[in-house]
Amino acid sequence: MKKSAFIIFTFFLFFIFSGTNASAQIRKVLNLPTYNDTPYHFGFILGLNQMLFTLKPADSLTYMKWTPEQYPDIFADSLVLYSVSPRPTPGFTIGILGNLRLGKYFDMRFIPSLSFGERKLNYQIEIFNDGQGQMVTTTKSITSTLINFPLDFRYRSTRLNNFGIYLLAGVQYSIDLASQKKAEQNTTDITVKLNKQDFYLSAGIGFEFYTTYFKFGTELRMGYGLNQLLKNENNIYTNSIESIRSKVFMLSFTFE
């Protein structure tokens, strides 16, 4: 329901602004009046991101049997794993922006960027020692440093004095430089490893403000990863998950 409400609200805002008759507005002095007529321009972005996981646990999770070799960092005679849940943490993104004008209202954008973030997996486990049970939560942190290569197409509304709004959609290829950072097997600290490469579908909405010397923008973007990222290493932390895919939300500020 939240996603549907966001989409409806986004299109509602967009068509209000694109359908407004500019001549009915109070006339103001236009900053950068021919800016959108230039064939191309450049800029940079600063952003805040939230990296998440779309996670599918293994079937019949609570009935799975685990050998001590599969949980060497947990001291227990036996255990039962009840659930696996992802937890996001904030990160940040920096990048450069290239914009190619395709028409009066259409642009193509290439924004290579570097994103830093961290995601956590919480494992709810009941451990048994000498017949006594105890519920514990084990957390595994997954740090990511992503090099992103997004290609976006956007549709801009009619400019309203020194303000504009746009919708965008595109694809993105990402490489995770930190996915193999702890590749060495460590029996005292098992890490959850991810595959390096991923492809995303993305969509978003943005607002543009024309100042005297540059154009400032605010953009909200959602990205959904297509690849199954988990590397199965035959332990309780990976065998309990059938698939992991990325999901990213980003609030960015552009200077063009």
Quick count: other Cβ atoms within 10 Å of Cβ 162? 17
CB atoms within 10 A of CB 189: 10
Residue 81 lies in a domain: no
Asked if residue 69 is part of any domain, the answer here is no
Between the alpha carbon of residue 195 and those of residues 146, 178, 179, 228, the distances in Å are: 12, 10, 7, 8
User: What is the tally of structural domains in the chain?
Assistant: 1
Whether 85 and 54 have beta carbons less than 8 Å apart is answered as: no
174 within domain boundaries: yes
pLDDT at 181: 54
**Beta strands in the chain, from DSSP E residues, in sequence order:** 40-57, 78-101, 106-110, 113-129, 132-156, 163-176, 197-210, 215-225, 241-255
Residue 103 lies in a domain: yes
Query: Which distant-in-sequence residues (6+ apart) come within 8 Å of 228 by Cβ?
Result: 195, 243, 244, 245
Spell out a b/e string for 132-151, using b for 16 or more CB atoms within 10 Å of the CB, else e.
Answer: eeeeeebebebbbbbebebe
Residue 134, in any domain of the structure: no
On whether residue 251 sits in a domain, the answer given is: yes
Which domain covers residue 191, as residue numbers? 2-19+40-55+91-117+145-255
Is 72 within the bounds of a domain? no
The DSSP bridge partners found for residue 253 are: 46, 218
Position 108 scores a pLDDT of: 97
Q: Determine contact, residues 146/174, Cβ cutoff 8 Å.
A: yes
**3-state DSSP of 72-136:** CCCCCCEEEEEEEEEEEEEEEEEEEEEEEECCCCEEEEECCEEEEEEEEEEEEEEEEECCEEEEE
Is 135 among the domain residues?
no
What CATH number does residue 210 fall under? Answer: 2.40.160.20
Do 219 and 254 contact (CB within 8 A), yes or no?
yes
Per-residue pLDDT of the chain (256 residues; tens, 9 = 90+): 444 444 544 554 544 444 444 444 456 788 888 888 899 999 999 999 999 999 999 998 989 899 888 888 888 889 999 999 999 889 999 999 999 999 999 999 999 999 999 999 999 999 998 878 899 999 999 999 999 999 999 999 988 999 999 999 999 999 999 866 554 444 456 788 899 999 999 999 999 999 999 999 999 999 999 999 999 888 999 999 999 999 999 999 999 9
